[in-house]
Chains A and B, each alone.
Chain A
C-alpha cells in the first residue's frame, strides 16, 4: 500500500515537473513570436526604403539620420547598407523560424508525455478508490 502511494506521489511530482517544462517552452515560443514579428516589420520597412532609393536618380542627395544629425550619404553606399540590412534580417528570420519549429516539436512531445502520465495517474487513483 505505502509503496504504491509513494509511487503515486512520485508520479504527481513528475507531472508537476513536466507541467513546468511545458510552461517554460510556451514562454519561449511566445518570445520567439514577438521577435519574429519585430523582424518582419523591420524587413518590410527596409524593403520600402530600398524601393524608394531605386527610384532615385544617381545624383540625388541621400541623408541618413544618425542621432540628431542628418548626414549626407552616397546613394551607392545607402543602397549597399539597406541591402545588407535586408540580408541580415532575412537570415535572422530564417533562424527564428527554425527555432520556433523546434520549440513547437518539443512542446508537442512534452504535452503528450504529460497527458500519458495524467492518464496513468487517473487510472491508478480510480483503482485505489475502488479498492
Chain B
C-alpha cells in the first residue's frame, strides 16, 4: 500500500506532457508483454499436442500399417517400426535419439518450463498494467483540473 501511494505521489508531481509520455510508454510495454504471453501459450499448445501424439504412438503395436506423409498432399503406406526410439529436436539444428519414456519426459519438462515462464511474465505484465492504469487516472485528473481552471 505504501509503495503504491508513494508512486502515486511521484505521478502527481509530473507535468501533463510527461505523464502522457509515461502512459504511452507503459501501454507499449503492456502490449509487448501481452504478445510474448500469447507466444508462450501457442508454444505450450504445440508441446501439449506433441506429448499427446507421443502418448498415442506409444500405444501402437510394432508392424502396424500406417500412412507416411511425404509431402503435404502425398501419403505413402508403410508399417510402424520400433516405436520405442524417438528423435527429439532440441534446437539449433540438433536432434537426439531418446526412448519413448525420455521423449515424454522431455515434452513434460519443456511444458513445465514454459508454464513457469508464463507465470513470471504474467506477474510482470500485471505490475506494468497497474502502472499504466495509475498514470492514466492521474492524467485524467490533471486534465480535468486544468479544464476546470481555464473555464472558471
Contacts and interface: CB of A to CB of B under 8 A. Distances in A.
A66 B92 CA distance: 10
Q: Which of under 10, 10 to 19, 20 to 34, or 35 or more describes the interface residues of A?
A: 20 to 34
Contacts, number: 46
Main secondary structure of the interface of B (DSSP, over half): strand
Contacts of B59: none
Interface in B48-95: 87-88, 90-95
Interface stretch (A57-65, A91-99, A114-122): A57-65
A63 B95 contact: yes
A46 interface: yes
B142 interface: no
A62 B93 contact: no
Interface string A77-94: 010001001000000000
A70 B95 contact: yes
Nearest to A45: B91
Q: Which of under 10, 10 to 19, 20 to 34, or 35 or more describes the interface residues of B?
A: 10 to 19
Contacts of B88: 52
Contacts of A45: 91-92
**The 5 residue pairs across chains A and B that have the minimum distance between CB atoms:** A61-B97, A65-B93, A63-B95, A52-B90, A45-B91
28 contacts: A45-B91, A46-B91, A46-B92, A48-B90, A48-B91, A49-B92, A49-B94, A52-B106, A53-B94, A56-B96, A60-B96, A60-B98, A61-B96, A61-B97, A62-B94, A62-B95, A62-B96, A62-B97, A63-B87, A63-B94, A63-B96, A64-B93, A65-B95, A66-B93, A70-B95, A73-B94, A82-B94, A85-B92
Interface of B: 87-88, 90-98, 106
